[in-house]
Amino acid sequence: MGLNFCTLFDSNYLLKGLALYESLVKQCKTGFHLYIFPFDDISYDILKKLTLINVTIISLEEFEDKELIKVKPSRTKGEYCWTCTPSIILYSITKFNLSHCTYLDADIYFFSDPSVLISEMDSNSVLITPHWYLSEYDRSQESGIYCVHFTTFRNDAVGLGVLEWWRKECINWCYNRHENGKFGDQKYLDDWPQRFKGVHILQNRGGGIAPWNSRHYKFYKNQNEVIFGVFESQNFIPVFFHFHELSILSDKEFDLSGYKLSREVINYFYKPYALSLHKNNELLKNIDVFIAPPANIYRNFSINKFYINIRRLIKGTYNFIKL
């Protein structure tokens, strides 16, 4: 059975969204369909020109309803994207009559087949993914126990009920601040295992590897160049990595994050991802709506270099790739 995914992004995340798509093409052995919600005209126009297979592109005009349009002026661009997260999942399931749908953050990349994560749900209706923070980076109280980046819902009474509850809460309140135990769209997930029946907490450590938890694990490659992770003496196969905080500085320059990263993590995960971003940048150069850096796609290196170096100095990190 093919897998159904949805994601949203604007032109600032376009290269990352295309890398996400590329990884699904490589790794989904039983097929997939990705529903993309571009949040500006530039990303919509480019995606339409690319004619990607196994993709449906839904414009804001098609997707937005009265409730979302009403709150849109009160949210920043980022806050509005968070507000819309449950709505794009619900729209995808109901509009296209999907048996299930998994929301994906645009800055994740798959290194093996995600079906193993979804099959872990068994008969449950909702799958949520822990942050699995290292103690030094633990922001559970501020940002939530669970990360929205990979969240699955079935098209059944329980799955739709949770989605509709989440959508209502996000429309009522979804801001980039901490207030009364809430933060964006994410803190709402904290009590789902107690609030709702049929919510499964992901156990597979291959799902949700991220800079805030990567040093929980040791990584190695076998003789066939397959990546393995080790956690508490148990081997696992990495499924996806969340490239949080990665900044595209230029065509071939990338600041990875302010987190401490092992050499293996940089070599096994970040370098292939940087190459994918570069490849997709080359792809965009061949279409007539290409956006030259630094507008929209790249952060301005000359402006940000000073601040990035200060962050590296304070945190003791120097995570930089130049292809």
pLDDT in tens, 43-71: 999 999 998 999 999 999 999 999 999 99
The total of structural domains in the chain comes to: 2
Torsion sign, CA atoms 280, 282, 287, 291: positive
Of the candidates 132, 149, 85, the residue with the CA atom closest to the CA atom of residue 231: 132
* Residue where a domain terminates, one of 151, 169, 201: 201
Query: Same domain for 141 and 218?
Result: no
How far apart CA 257 and CA 318 sit, in angstroms, is 9
Residue tagged 């093996």 (tokens): 112
pLDDT of residue 298: 43
Lowest mean pLDDT among 2-11, 131-140, 190-199, 297-306: 297-306
Helix or strand (DSSP H, E) at 61: helix 60-63
How far apart CA 278 and CA 52 sit, in angstroms, is 18
Query: Same domain for 123 and 85?
Result: yes
* Residue where a domain terminates, one of 151, 179, 201: 201
Backbone phi, psi, residue 92, to 5°:
-60, -45
CATH number of 61's domain: 3.90.550.10
In a domain, 206, yes or no: no
Query: Same domain for 79 and 184?
Result: yes
How far apart CA 138 and CA 160 sit, in angstroms, is 31
In a domain, 105, yes or no: yes
Model pTM? 0.92
Query: Same domain for 177 and 124?
Result: yes
* Chain Cα centroid distance, residue 194: 25
In a domain, 37, yes or no: yes
Each residue's pLDDT tens digit, 151-195: 999 999 999 999 999 999 999 999 999 999 999 999 999 999 999
Each residue's pLDDT tens digit, 97-126: 999 999 999 999 999 999 999 999 999 999
Query: Same domain for 172 and 261?
Result: no
Each residue's pLDDT tens digit, 13-44: 999 999 999 999 999 999 999 999 999 999 99
pLDDT of residue 182: 96
Backbone phi, psi, residue 59, to 5°:
-75, 160
* Chain Cα centroid distance, residue 230: 23
Asked if residue 294 has pLDDT above 60, the reply is no
Asked if residue 202 has pLDDT above 80, the reply is yes
The domain containing residue 84 runs over which residues?
A: 3-201
Query: Same domain for 255 and 126?
Result: no
Query: Same domain for 118 and 171?
Result: yes
Asked if residue 318 has pLDDT above 80, the reply is no
In a domain, 207, yes or no: no
* Residue where a domain terminates, one of 201, 236, 269: 201
Q: Which two tokens stand for residue 89?
A: 């999942």
How far apart CA 114 and CA 95 sit, in angstroms, is 23
